[in-house]
Amino acid sequence: MEERGYEYNVVKGFAYSALFWLIIGLLVGLWIAAEMFLPQLNLTPWLAFGRLRVVHTNGLAFGFTLAAIFSCTYYILQRLTRTPLALPKLARFHLWLFNAAIALAALSLFAGMNTSKEYAELEWPLDLVVVVMWVIFAINVFATLIKRRERQMYISLWYIIAMTVTVAVLYIVNNLEVPVNLFKSYSAYAGANDANVQWWYGHNAVGFVFTVPILAMFYYFLPKSTNLPIYSHRLSIIAFWSLIFGYLWTGAHHLMLTPLPEWIQTVAIAFSIFLIAPSWGSVINGYYTMRGNWDQMRTNYLVKFFIFGITFYGLQTIQGPTQGLRTLTAFFHYTDWVVGHVHMGTMGWVTMIISASFYYMIPRIMKRELYSIKMANLHFWLILVGQLLYTVTLWIAGIQQGAMWKATNPDGSLTYSFLEVVAAMYPYWKIRFLGGVVYFVGIVVFIYNLLMTVRSPLAEQPKPEPSKA
Amino acid sequence: MGVYSRPVMFAILSAVVILVGTMVTMFVPLMLPSTQPVSEYVKPYTAVELEGRDIYIREGCNNCHTQTVRPLVTEVARYGEYSKPEEFAYDRPFLWGSRRTGPDLNRVGGKYPDSWHYQHLYDPRSMFAKSNMPAYGWLARRPLDTSYTFKKVSVLGYGYGEDEVRKQIDDYRSKVTSPDYLAKTVRDRITPPELRGQLTEMDALVAYLQKLGRDVKRLARGSHTGGVAEASGLVRNPYEGDKKAIEEGKGLFKKYCAVCHGEDASGEIGPNLRDSKWKYGGTDADIYQSISKGRPGGMPNWDVKLGKERIWKIVSFIRSIGEK
């Protein structure tokens, strides 16, 4: 056990940051969910839906998810290389810069400084800060990898490397813009090209923030939590390379039936279908890892999070390519169905894996026992029920919305005005809000449980690291 | 084993792997003419329209409204001609959107009169009780900042000189502050007195909304003569004097027409339909034609949305309330 010199403060710092931005992002989410049926809540310009939705998506994708990714990456990196972080001071600066950037991002988005490109809304000065922050992170990742004392790089490290490289390329290319002044710029691309670059970015932000690093956590923390080796190393090699190869072709499935050249749309949907294979490669690898040990679903509270998480990932990666098919996209695109789809991925897969990773990691680096397993179970059930209530409601809403938009009378005229369709959605939007509340309560339980863990007395015997994997 | 113990090599290999799809589907299309077609008929935004567009972006309107009509039967019926790539040549960034909490706006230009937009932005629920759109009345209480306008059009390469930009702004100000401006009543009502003589953010946003799809519509108007037979007067109203149809027409009028013509059809945003004055003719066939094909100045076409039968019922209702 060479614990000496390991930099865990920054792991902790990023974990706390993640939890903080999670609460903020969810509160904003609840507010805009309520605005859907209570438009009076658009009280001020900065509380209007158009501005707040961007704070919600950026706050959770970057504030919460990225912080959790940095936290787990710094932890996994040190464990898997059996080497302390190469540049701990730089990592602490990274933590500080990250939180400053997210706070400024939130403020600037509240103020309406917004490039309009989804998940790339920040104006150019903040783009530069993000790039500097990412370079700082990458330096630490590679410096530690080069110094490492474990020759072989385990699966999780592949995913971390792929994320580090790809996010840099995506972010820089999509954010190329010409400044007008400090607060305003115009995209370097126009029209159909701008759309194509944006969704090449947008879809791969999903791929390399919500998928690749979360898989890194899954491949590391599942074996660690269960003491079981991953089922197939060969399968993980195939799944990894085909996943990162296939992802970059698929952006245009967000632009089906738009004025983008048809061949780009067709290629995108073909590769989207292809992506089911590597996605399910990881799902199968996860399931088979549990082979013969499924009793852990009952006895080990962490396993539930991992198995349900990877299951939602599996469902997500079938639903996504399916709804992109031309016939189905004609029906589903622009409806609430897609909102439901996204939230299965984020509230199901991403949050469940991050929750379990934190439950594993934080007691260990704090040398404490988890405050309450009962509470962790409660947290699990609340976020599961909340998410299902949210997503299933919006899928039903989306089907109705799509059908009403398309309904015609025998003479070919439209059956419903746009407003009649809006009015029909109100009950669904209310249930969706309720789902969000249940989920939020689950997250509050999660955070309380972790805080109580941190504040509890030191464990008598520091929890030993299982030595395998 | 090979690359799995060489982090830098691994990173390079990963970069190569991700760049294949990137090159084919993103980088190569950047260079192709098919992603950046230009057409004579599509004109860049004026200085004021551009400022309006920037307000649209600032307020995140693209989070609820799309700007791309797909080539699908019901979508074309609802919104109009499907979107063409060349229409977006001056759009930096593009604003196609990803969600239709509100309707698509790519063909909204010219669909309604300016007064409709002022009233709707000011208080959406005064027109549509069930709407969940935020109210944007505060935009009429903010003067339009034009200090960067010239810099903006220069960055975008619209080719206007500084004088031209100044002139466009002045011209638009003259238009909306003129006593003859058709939307004067509602504009004055929602604009504070000290700003009535200036351009507000609301003015710019309305200018932008009225530009959306205008070039395409102008092109289409040139090639269309549609509906001659229906307008010729040879067509008879199948429901003439039919009490049941008039009753149904009343319900349809309330649902689709009252928002502009008033609950009692005596006119608000649109003209009075009770009096005997008919700008485009008062026969059943004329009224049918006005509803079906729309009229310049903000009467939308309802042909594909409502269909013949429902339009005839509305015609019957309008005829039944007219002063004889």
Give me the half-sphere count of Cα atoms (radius 13 Å) on the Cβ side of residue B240.
Answer: 8
Count of structural domains within chain A: 1
Closest alpha carbon to B101 in B73, B121, B131: B131
φ and ψ of B29, to 5 deg: -55, -30
Residue B318 and residue B273 in contact, taking contact as beta carbons nearer than 8 Å: yes
Closest alpha carbon to A171 in A212, A210, A117, A219: A117
Closest alpha carbon to A368 in A454, A246, A431, A305: A454
Give the position of tokens 């990773």. A357
A326: how many CB neighbours lie within 10 A of its CB?
Answer: 13
Asked if the Cβ–Cβ distance from B93 to A198 is below 8 Å, we say yes
φ and ψ of A436, to 5 deg: -60, -40
**Does residue A283 form part of some domain?**
no
Whole-Å CA distances, B272 to B262, B263, B323: 8, 11, 11
Please tell me the distance from the alpha carbon of residue A353 to that of residue A217, in angstroms, as a whole number: 7
Please give the average per-residue pLDDT across B35-63, as a whole number. Answer: 95
**In chain B, which residues have their Cβ closer than 8 Å to the Cβ of A45?**
59, 138
**What stretch of H or E contains A179?**
strand A177-181
**What stretch of H or E contains A184?**
strand A184-187
Give me the half-sphere count of Cα atoms (radius 13 Å) on the Cβ side of residue B113.
Answer: 22
**Does residue A101 form part of some domain?**
yes
This model of the complex carries an ipTM of 0.95
Question: 3-state SS of B263-296?
Answer: CCCCCCCCCCCCCCCCCCCCCHHHHHHHHHHCEC
Query: Does A73 contact B at CB distance below 8 Å?
Result: no
CA distance B88 to chain A (A): 4
Q: What is the pLDDT of residue A460?
A: 72
Q: What is the pLDDT of residue B1?
A: 57
Domain of residue A15 covers 1-188
Single-letter amino acid, residue B209: L
pLDDT mean across residues, chain A = 96
Closest alpha carbon to B9 in A161, A169, A154: A161
Interface test with A, best of B25, B120, B302 (most A CBs within 10 A): B25
Give the position of tokens 């039944």. B320
Question: Can you give the CATH number for the domain in which A4 is found?
Answer: 1.20.210.10
B-facing residues of A in 15-44 (CB < 8 A) are: 35-37, 39, 42
**In chain A, which residues have their Cβ closer than 8 Å to the Cβ of B307?**
409, 411-413
**Does residue A2 form part of some domain?**
yes
B247: how many CB neighbours lie within 10 A of its CB?
Answer: 13
Residue B195 and residue B91 in contact, taking contact as beta carbons nearer than 8 Å: no
Over residues B60-102, the pLDDT tens digits come to 999 999 999 999 999 999 999 999 999 999 999 999 999 999 9
Query: Does B290 contact A at CB distance below 8 Å?
Result: no
For domain B47-221, give the CATH number.
Answer: 1.10.760.10
- May I ask the CATH architecture of the domain B225-322? Orthogonal Bundle (1.10)
Over residues B266-319, the pLDDT tens digits come to 888 899 998 888 889 888 899 999 999 998 888 999 988 899 999 999 999 998
Q: Is the dihedral of CA A391, A393, A395, A401 positive or negative?
A: negative
pLDDT tens track, chain A, 469 positions: 446 689 999 999 999 999 999 999 999 999 999 999 999 999 999 999 999 999 999 999 999 999 999 999 999 999 999 999 999 999 999 999 999 999 999 999 999 999 999 999 999 999 999 999 999 999 999 999 999 999 999 999 999 999 999 999 999 999 999 999 999 999 999 999 999 999 999 999 999 999 999 999 999 999 999 999 999 999 999 999 999 999 999 999 999 999 999 999 999 999 999 999 999 999 999 999 999 999 999 999 999 999 999 999 999 999 999 999 999 999 999 999 999 999 999 999 999 999 999 999 999 999 999 999 999 999 999 999 999 999 999 999 999 999 999 999 998 899 999 999 999 999 999 999 999 999 999 999 999 999 999 999 987 765 555 544 4
Question: 3-state SS of A249-266?
Answer: CCHHHHHCCCCCCHHHHH
Please tell me the distance from the alpha carbon of residue A272 to that of residue A254, in angstroms, as a whole number: 11
**Does residue A314 form part of some domain?**
no
Sequence-distant (≥ 6) Cβ neighbours of residue B285 within 8 angstroms: B230, B231, B232, B233, B234, B235, B237
Give me the half-sphere count of Cα atoms (radius 13 Å) on the Cβ side of residue B210.
Answer: 21
Per domain, the residue ranges of chain B are: 3-35, 47-221, 225-322
Q: Which residue of chain A comes nearest to B86, CA vs CA?
A: A191
B189: how many CB neighbours lie within 10 A of its CB?
Answer: 11
CA distance B36 to chain A (A): 7
Give the position of tokens 């009467």. B299
Asked if the Cβ–Cβ distance from B132 to A157 is below 8 Å, we say no
Q: What is the pLDDT of residue B220?
A: 75
Query: Does A161 contact B at CB distance below 8 Å?
Result: yes
| Nearest CB partner across the interface for A405, out of B74, B148, B155 | B74
